[in-house]
Amino acid sequence: MSEHDEAAPDTPRHGAADPDADHTPAATPVTGARATSDREAGTEADTETDTAPRTPAGTAPVTAPVTAGGTATAPDAAKPRRRGRPKVTPDPDLAARLVNETRKLFIERGYARTTMDDIAAHCRVSKRTLYRLFPAKSALFQAIIEAHRPAMLALPGNYSGLPLSEALARILRVDISAEEDLERIAVLRLVVMEAQSVPELAAIVRDHGAEPSRRALADWLGAQQAAGRMRPLDPMLVSGMLMNMVFGVTRGGRVGPPDVENWPDLAERDHHIRLCIDLFLNGALPRGPQGPAGTAGS
């Protein structure tokens, strides 16, 4: 057995003898086609040694089956009733809970210092279940990155009819709550710090976080360019530029403008994002007699 496996808890086998059970000998079979237990006839008091089969109130008494020769035989021993199956959380719901709880552990302890044993204990699941849903710790990290993408960019989405500046503000989550923003910064900081020491994490962040987000933004920008609302620039290039402007320098675990550990307040954060959008659009919008202008398409 590998260290990743867990033995299932011992369970009593069906029909196994119970050492604490009462071993009073079974009653002698009653003869006669019309024989019934004394209890059914109402002639014997209810005592601890009564072995006659009991029936619910208001139902017909159980009689011994009669053989072809007219002799009644003792009924088979009652089979133990099976308990109903315990409620089981569906795999998608359980996986989502594991991802959410593991993200908190990674933020608190760091990826490298958190083990699968820690995760199983914290989430109160068996290691067998954990490994069935996530074969490796890196698979959990990947799921965290994928679940985090909507916190970075609200795409896909329908922003038809909005001014380009307002559409981009919504895409870049200017409306994010203070709590969500702190969580977003914490995950970004985790990614920056851990990817430096664990090379495989950098590839996961690139392939399942940064690049899908960049492509989604590039697709939206490309649609605006195709409709003539923006200059025909390389969508992948300009989407990367915009994301770098908004999310700022991330070296050393810092997220936001250079030399800023955290945003001072929400107003400062919103001002930074809208300024980035304004600078971006002034370089990306088509030029007209009165300067850049535009309205978002879908």
Out of 135, 159, 192, a domain closes at 135
The answer to whether 78 and 70 have CB atoms below 8 angstroms apart is no
Asked whether residue 265 is assigned to any structural domain, the reply reads yes
Summarised one tens digit per residue, pLDDT across range 206-237 is: 999 999 999 999 999 999 999 999 989 999 99
Would you state the pLDDT for residue 168?
95
112 and 175 assigned to the same domain? no
Q: Is the pLDDT of residue 24 over 50?
A: no
Write the CA distances from 230 to 139, 167, 277, 295, integer angstroms: 39, 13, 13, 9
Give residue-wise pLDDT tens across range 159-192. Answer: 999 999 999 999 999 888 888 888 888 898 888 8
In percent, the amount of the chain with pLDDT more than 70 equals 59
For residue range 273-286, list pLDDT tens digits in order: 888 899 898 886 67
**pLDDT for residue 197 is more than 70:** yes
Identify whether 62 is part of a domain.
no
Average pLDDT value over all residues in the chain: 74
What residues have CB less than 8 Å from 128, skipping those under 6 apart?
5, 6, 8
- State whether 203 and 157 are in the same domain: yes
Instruction: Burial-class residue 64 by CB neighbours within 10 Å (0-12, 13-18, 19+).
Output: buried
- Domain check: are 147 and 259 in the same one? yes
Domain-terminating residue out of 105, 135, 165: 135
The answer to whether residue 145 is domain-embedded is yes
Does residue 181 share a domain with residue 128?
no
Domain of 117, CATH number, reads 1.10.10.60
Report the pLDDT value the prediction gives residue 80, as an integer from 0 to 100: 57
45 compared with 107, residue with greater pLDDT: 107
Are 111 and 178 found together in one domain? Answer: no
Selection from 241, 267, 269 nearest residue 255 by Cα: 269
Q: How confident is the model at residue 247 (pLDDT cuts 50, 70, 90)?
A: confident
Residues 228 and 275 in one domain: yes
Domain match, 116 and 155 both: no
Residue 234, domain member (yes or no): yes
- CA 169 from centroid of its chain's CA atoms: 29
Do 158 and 124 belong together in one domain? Answer: no
66-96 burial, b at 16+ Cβ within 10 Å, e below that, comes to eeeeeebeeeeeeeeeeeeeeeeeeeeebbe
> For the chain, how many structural domains are there in total?
2
In a domain, 28, yes or no: no
Say which CATH number the domain at 223 has.
Answer: 1.10.357
pLDDT of residue 261: 53
Where is the domain boundary, 82, 106, 135?
Answer: 135
Whole-structure pTM value: 0.63
Q: Are residues 198 and 131 in the same domain?
A: no
Average pLDDT over residues 3-27: 42
Give pLDDT, residue 155: 95
227 lies in some domain: yes
Residue-level pLDDT at 177 = 87
125, 153: one domain: no
Query: Is there a single domain that holds both residue 126 and residue 195?
Result: no
- Range of the structural domain that residue 241 is part of: 141-284
Q: Are residues 220 and 272 in the same domain?
A: yes
Confidence tier at 89 by pLDDT (50, 70, 90): confident
Nearest to 248 by CA among 222, 275, 219, 223: 275
